[in-house]
Amino acid sequence: MFYDSDKNIRKYGIYAILVIMLLYLLYPICAFPIHEQARAARLNNDNYIKWVDFRVPYEVIRKAYEYDAIHHKSKYIKFDFVKALAYLATKNGNRFNATKDLNELNKLLEMIKKGKNIDDFYGQNKYYQYYVEAYQAIFAEFIGEYVEEGSNEIKYGLKNYHPIPRGFWYSHYDDFGASRSYGYKRRHLGHDLMGSIGTPIIAIEGGTIAEIGWNKYGGWRIGIRSFDKKRSYYYAHMRKDRPYVQGLKKGDKVYAGQVIGYLGVTGYSNKENTNMGTKPHLHLGMQLIFNEEQVQGPKEIWIDMYQICKFLSHNRADVIKDKNDYRSVGLKKSL
């Protein structure tokens, strides 16, 4: 009898060990969304955001923007673009699905039309607050009031620009995070837009030139910090011999839509003005800065700009050739 129960203990013991091992193996998969939210939760222990993983599909960004713009003048319907995206991210745990989330967005609009306020749903939720702050840091200057050059009419809409002007070809795909190696293995923390050498490059948003000149990875590059200091845009691999529009220097202010330089293929060399052996392309980066210690080094936060570039393609600058440089015409001016 004792012998029998001993055998049972051994048998169930082995099952128990197998189940524990299985749970241990599955844990990283099952707990992934929790891990991600935990990163967000650090916001509570410290007072600034440490990490942002931007995953909103273009279709969702575009639709939320349209609802915001359509109801902009309404006294009763307040549809905030950034808060709508934060609402979805909180609801889906940052696992976006264009079809599902467009549906959720429509439902949200219906509820707001019935008198709900967007903060009524998750207003007190710490993840919602995190997403609002993160998306606000990305989109602060994208949408707002502006006037077009030569007009007094105040309009509301997308006012940041696509980096490639109207009439110039480019192609792209989502290459954020792809592995690259030069010197040491590193991930691709930007977005590449293939194009022709000499294509004018447009400042997506206004800001101050924080860096300009040669960098052994980016080649001829330019870094522009937004006026609110929350974002930094990085444009790299610019044209050999004449990368920038004449006269640009560190500390200069540029405005959204301004031509800043030309597409090229420089970089990956300690020797200045060297071309790489790849196809000409603009490397574009967007960095978020919640604290100055995130400006440079291991704490940098770069986000995937692929979906954002698709969104920006609805606002491309017109350029004309003017002596040695291109310049933009008919730009929107922020109010």
Catalog residues that contact Zn ion under the rule CB under 5 A.
Answer: 190, 192, 283
Give the nearer residue to Zn ion in terms of CB position, either 77 or 194.
Answer: 194
Shortest approach of Zn ion to residue 258 CB, angstroms?
22
Give the nearer residue to Zn ion in terms of CB position, either 94 or 232.
Answer: 232
Give the nearer residue to Zn ion in terms of CB position, either 279 or 299.
Answer: 279
Shortest approach of Zn ion to residue 88 CB, angstroms?
28
Give the nearer residue to Zn ion in terms of CB position, either 165 or 190.
Answer: 190
Residue nearest to Zn ion (CB): 283
With a CB cutoff of 8 Å and minimum separation 6, the contacts of 47 are: none
Give the nearer residue to Zn ion in terms of CB position, either 141 or 192.
Answer: 192
Shortest approach of Zn ion to residue 265 CB, angstroms?
11
Shortest approach of Zn ion to residue 240 CB, angstroms?
17
Shortest approach of Zn ion to residue 235 CB, angstroms?
11
Give the nearer residue to Zn ion in terms of CB position, either 235 or 290.
Answer: 235
Shortest approach of Zn ion to residue 239 CB, angstroms?
16
Give the nearer residue to Zn ion in terms of CB position, either 244 or 268.
Answer: 268
Shortest approach of Zn ion to residue 209 CB, angstroms?
20
